[in-house]
Amino acid sequence: MARIPTLFRASAGRPSGLLGSLLSRKVPQVAVAYVTLCWGVLQFVDWLSERYALAPALTDFFFYLVVLLTPSVLTVAYFRGGDEPHWTWVEKIGVPVNLAVAGAVLWLNFQGQELGSINQTVTLQDSSGRTVERQVPKSAFRKRLALFFFENTSGDPKLDWLQQGIPIVLATDLSQDLYLGLQDSYNLVDRIRRAGFSYRDVLALGLERQIAKYQRLDYIVTGTVTKTGDRFSVRVDLYETERVKRLARRTYQGTNLFELVDDMSVQLKRDLDVPAQHIDSIADFPVAEVLTRSLTALEHFTLARNFADFDGNYPAALQQFDQATAADPSFATAYLEQIESSLLAAKIDQAERHYEKGQQYAFKLIERYQFFLRTWIWLKGQPEEALQAIEKWVALYPDDLQAHRRLAVHYMNTAQQDRAIATFQRILELDPETSGHLLQMGLLERQNGRYAEALRLFEQFGNREERRSTAYENMADTYRLQGQFEQARSLYQQSLALDDNNTGAQLGLASLASSTGEFAGALEFNRLALANSRTSDQKENAYANLLTHYSLRHQWQKVVPLIPQFLTTNNGLINSLLNQAFILDSYVLVGQQDMAFAALKRMQAQVGSSPLLATFVQMGYLRVYLALEDAARAEPLIPQIEATLHRYSLDQLIDAIELERRRGGVAELRKDYKQALQFYQRHLKRNPTDAESHADIGRCYRLLGDPANAKASLAKALQVIPALPEAHYELAEIALAEGDRSTALKEIQYTLKVLEGADQSDKLLIKAKALSGRLISPTPAVQ
């Protein structure tokens, strides 16, 4: 049995007591040696972390380890320094217990933390098919920032542009480092406008935190700016989003704003604990070399961004961009921004010119943005070259999330939804914190008719409380499109309970009410959504929903007055032209075909010589001719529209304008119901959420003498839109043909109820009244 040692023992000629025992066993010497060794190890680990870009937590891990192992080291030193030949019970029990406690503490403190390299190796193929390996930052080490506008504290309104101008310069400088995931106020414009604010307002820190949390950004950067004479004074504040703890406050003063920003960006990285080795090793151009040296050019550029991104005033933005490039003809970033503003202003020829000027000065863009510029070559009808630029961008910068997003957008534009979903999934693998892409993935899955997967993605998107209202809204939309109205209604209500100003949920309830024949409730929800709409997108959706409601009831006289209001909410002239083309047939349906053709002439004058914009005019003519039942003029337009959209790789637009369905309409006008059926089925395959196509298919089956398939298709249409009058009319025709006058009368009466208030000249209303008259009139007696 192990003997308990005597700790206090007198010994002749040696120090007595505990101190003497420790000295005799050389415990102090061991302790000093241990501390010295551990200090050296910690210094070495810290050097390794800096030199080889290892996780900063690695140094903390070793510090915890050496402190936690101290009891075991001292225990072993004490007993092994004495006369005991064997391990004592104190050692046998104490050391294992200490090791267990140390392991538990380390596990609790470092569970889930990366302790290795901050980088990872990814393998992919470049555009030529070669296998490429690149080192990219691990997701855990990316610093995700929300960079908000600064506050002008000078009292001089002429300096207000610096509130946005300095963050623009800082964002440009920081964008050279892929270690940082940065979103500035222009990226966050939708959340800012939804809150009722613009670039003119100074945002409260609480709102900035709310927006940053929604976007899953870990840090907030904001600040102030003033100017005395030629001297700028800029204060930069860095906050941690979750705790709203200020991590740093720095003030920079000087006469050269661009050099101040260079200093800001480096210090900001240090304050974010970005490894020094990483800061020193990356290419970091002075910001004046990749933006502009001219304050005048920067001021006009800033005003242009405000007009474009916040106000949607693209003509005004283009004027400011022109002044920016006049002040600095080599301002490549301004040319790059001008391309999109010109496109949205429906000035394709100008967009092409700005593209050429941007290419001329592309050397003033960081390399990633040179690829971004190259992707705009699709405007010249060269989408293959645009795709090659994106693929090369992804290959050379596999950690650049913007490159992957651009690739996903290309796949969406070309109607390759599965590839787009896979690309978004790749982004999530690179950085799981970019979970906002789950929402887009869910929308694509729903578009493909994969409702269960869409619901799973929406639910995953809503894991965080600040996103739950949006998640419930999209889940409700998904249930509504399946005809599961009670589940949809419940989720819409839950969404509004979390955010009573969620116009998307209010419009969802309006659509649900319209679909189920609750027309008064639908109008009330539409009115509420329109009143709560703060952004142009919200207003556009509200008017579009109202137009859909009146169109369902064939109340074209109520549709036409809303058209101008609807078009003014569109984002830029190009979207206004596109939406106008979609809706011009309403003038024909209300008996005002002259107004439709006059609008088409005005559109023709606005589009100039652009083949792409000319296609929008052709879309308008196609809709008008079909409404006039002029198959001869409508039919040749379809292949022309399709060819142009293919040329620009806008296959998604082919589906959006329902080109296959229009082919079916032409075939029906020619009474070729078999071919019409094939076109409608092809359209439905590409657009599985389009319930009205089931009614088209059902009508063709009836006209082909196939009532069983007709009723099956009409049932599918009514499952999603129970109030669809076309479907009820077709069921009435089928029931009458089968001798079931009771069912026919029931169906036609419901049809007329939905069409109450419809234009008296409406063709469906005229047919429904005629059928109702035949059913109500007494059947002649058989002689």
CB atoms within 10 A of CB 90: 15
Q: Supply the pLDDT for residue 105.
A: 75
In this predicted structure, the answer to whether residue 503 has a pLDDT above a threshold of 70 is: yes
Find tokens 């870990």 and name the residue: 218
In this predicted structure, the answer to whether residue 524 has a pLDDT above a threshold of 70 is: yes
What is the identity of the amino acid at 489? R
Q: pLDDT-derived band of residue 565, with 50, 70 and 90 as boundaries?
A: very high
Length of the chain: 783
Cα dihedral 195, 196, 198, 200 sign: negative
Over the stretch 154-191, which tens digit does the pLDDT of each residue have? 999 999 999 999 999 999 999 999 889 899 999 999 99
- Domains of the chain by start residue, with CATH: 17-110 (no CATH), 139-308+324-329 (3.40.50.10070)
CB atoms within 10 A of CB 464: 12
The helix (H) or strand (E) run that includes residue 125 is strand 119-125
In this predicted structure, the answer to whether residue 310 has a pLDDT above a threshold of 60 is: yes
In this predicted structure, the answer to whether residue 125 has a pLDDT above a threshold of 60 is: no
In this predicted structure, the answer to whether residue 82 has a pLDDT above a threshold of 90 is: no
What span, in angstroms and rounded, lies between the C-alpha atoms of 561 and 489? 30
Q: Supply the pLDDT for residue 51.
A: 65
What is the identity of the amino acid at 563? I
DSSP reduced 3-state for 750: helix
- In 3D space, the residue among 458, 572, 583 whose CA is nearest the CA of residue 508 turns out to be 458
What span, in angstroms and rounded, lies between the C-alpha atoms of 697 and 626? 18
Q: Supply the pLDDT for residue 101.
A: 76
Using CB atoms within 10 Å of the CB of residue 20, give its burial: 0 to 12 exposed, 13 to 18 middle, 19+ buried. Answer: middle
User: 37-46, 71-80, 385-394: lowest mean pLDDT where?
Assistant: 71-80
Q: pLDDT-derived band of residue 278, with 50, 70 and 90 as boundaries?
A: confident
Report helix angle 725-737 to 691-703, nearest 10: 20
- In 3D space, the residue among 721, 777, 726, 720 whose CA is nearest the CA of residue 747 turns out to be 726
Q: pLDDT-derived band of residue 274, with 50, 70 and 90 as boundaries?
A: confident
Q: Please, are residues 179 and 283 in contact by the beta-carbon 8 Å criterion?
A: no
Q: What angle do CA 334, 335, 341 make, to 5 degrees?
A: 90
376: Cα within 13 Å, side-chain hemisphere: 26
* Whole-angstrom Cα Rg for the chain: 34
Q: Please, are residues 305 and 337 in contact by the beta-carbon 8 Å criterion?
A: yes
What span, in angstroms and rounded, lies between the C-alpha atoms of 569 and 64? 59
Contacts of 90 (CB under 8 A, 6+ apart): 75, 79
Q: Please, are residues 320 and 307 in contact by the beta-carbon 8 Å criterion?
A: yes
CB atoms within 10 A of CB 721: 23
DSSP reduced 3-state for 362: helix
- pTM of the entire predicted model: 0.83
Q: Where is pLDDT greater, at 125 or 409?
A: 409
In this predicted structure, the answer to whether residue 55 has a pLDDT above a threshold of 70 is: no
Cα 66 to Cα 47, 59, 108, 113, 739: the distances in Å are 17, 11, 16, 19, 92
Contacts of 769 (CB under 8 A, 6+ apart): 752
In this predicted structure, the answer to whether residue 426 has a pLDDT above a threshold of 80 is: yes
- In 3D space, the residue among 461, 406, 416, 418 whose CA is nearest the CA of residue 437 turns out to be 461
Q: Which residues is 221 bridged to in the sheet?
A: 147, 238
Contacts of 61 (CB under 8 A, 6+ apart): 106, 110, 115
β-strands 119-125, 151-152 pairing: unpaired
Structure tokens given for 319:
């004027």
Find tokens 């952004």 and name the residue: 535
Cα 370 to Cα 77, 328, 332, 365, 728: the distances in Å are 64, 19, 10, 6, 56
Cα 531 to Cα 341, 521, 605, 614, 690: the distances in Å are 29, 15, 34, 35, 29
Kindly report the average pLDDT of the chain as a whole number: 89
Using CB atoms within 10 Å of the CB of residue 26, give its burial: 0 to 12 exposed, 13 to 18 middle, 19+ buried. Answer: middle
In this predicted structure, the answer to whether residue 588 has a pLDDT above a threshold of 90 is: yes
Q: Please, are residues 169 and 261 in contact by the beta-carbon 8 Å criterion?
A: yes
Structure tokens given for 584:
């011009």
- In 3D space, the residue among 719, 721, 743, 745 whose CA is nearest the CA of residue 553 turns out to be 721
Contacts of 297 (CB under 8 A, 6+ apart): 324, 325, 327, 328, 331, 334
In this predicted structure, the answer to whether residue 20 has a pLDDT above a threshold of 60 is: no
Q: Supply the pLDDT for residue 127.
A: 45
What span, in angstroms and rounded, lies between the C-alpha atoms of 307 and 322? 13
| Mean pLDDT, range 649-678, rounded to an integer | 96
What span, in angstroms and rounded, lies between the C-alpha atoms of 493 and 509? 9
Q: Supply the pLDDT for residue 10.
A: 42
Contacts of 652 (CB under 8 A, 6+ apart): 412, 413, 414, 415
Structure tokens given for 547:
């137009």
| Mean pLDDT, range 427-432, rounded to an integer | 88
In this predicted structure, the answer to whether residue 777 has a pLDDT above a threshold of 80 is: no
Ranges of beta strands (E only) in 474-572 are none
| Mean pLDDT, range 620-639, rounded to an integer | 97
Q: Supply the pLDDT for residue 396.
A: 83
Q: pLDDT-derived band of residue 711, with 50, 70 and 90 as boundaries?
A: very high
- Residue 428 φ/ψ, nearest 5 degrees: -65, -35
Over the stretch 59-77, which tens digit does the pLDDT of each residue have? 777 777 777 777 777 777 6
Q: pLDDT-derived band of residue 410, with 50, 70 and 90 as boundaries?
A: very high
Q: Supply the pLDDT for residue 85.
A: 65
| Mean pLDDT, range 119-148, rounded to an integer | 65
User: 91-100, 325-334, 559-568: lowest mean pLDDT where?
Assistant: 91-100
In this predicted structure, the answer to whether residue 142 has a pLDDT above a threshold of 90 is: no
Q: pLDDT-derived band of residue 8, with 50, 70 and 90 as boundaries?
A: very low
Q: Please, are residues 474 and 439 in contact by the beta-carbon 8 Å criterion?
A: yes
What span, in angstroms and rounded, lies between the C-alpha atoms of 455 and 445? 9
In this predicted structure, the answer to whether residue 269 has a pLDDT above a threshold of 60 is: yes
DSSP reduced 3-state for 226: strand
What span, in angstroms and rounded, lies between the C-alpha atoms of 265 and 674? 66
Over the stretch 442-473, which tens digit does the pLDDT of each residue have? 999 999 999 999 999 999 999 988 899 999 99
Over the stretch 343-358, which tens digit does the pLDDT of each residue have? 999 999 999 999 999 9
Q: Supply the pLDDT for residue 627.
A: 97
In this predicted structure, the answer to whether residue 139 has a pLDDT above a threshold of 90 is: no
Q: Supply the pLDDT for residue 2.
A: 42
Over the stretch 716-732, which tens digit does the pLDDT of each residue have? 999 999 999 999 999 99
Q: Supply the pLDDT for residue 60.
A: 72
| Mean pLDDT, range 248-269, rounded to an integer | 97
Q: Where is pLDDT greater, at 670 or 41?
A: 670
What counts of helices (H) and strands (E) characterise the chain?
A: 42, 8
What span, in angstroms and rounded, lies between the C-alpha atoms of 371 and 361? 13
In this predicted structure, the answer to whether residue 12 has a pLDDT above a threshold of 80 is: no
- Checking 23-27 for CB contacts under 8 A at 24+ apart, the result is 24/81, 24/82, 25/77, 25/78, 25/79, 25/81, 25/82, 26/77, 26/81, 27/74, 27/77, 27/78, 27/81
CB atoms within 10 A of CB 410: 21
Q: What is the DSSP letter of 13?
A: T
DSSP 605-633: HHHTT-HHHHHHHHHHHHHHHHHTT-HHH
What span, in angstroms and rounded, lies between the C-alpha atoms of 415 and 409? 10
Q: pLDDT-derived band of residue 113, with 50, 70 and 90 as boundaries?
A: low
Q: Supply the pLDDT for residue 98.
A: 78
In this predicted structure, the answer to whether residue 4 has a pLDDT above a threshold of 50 is: no
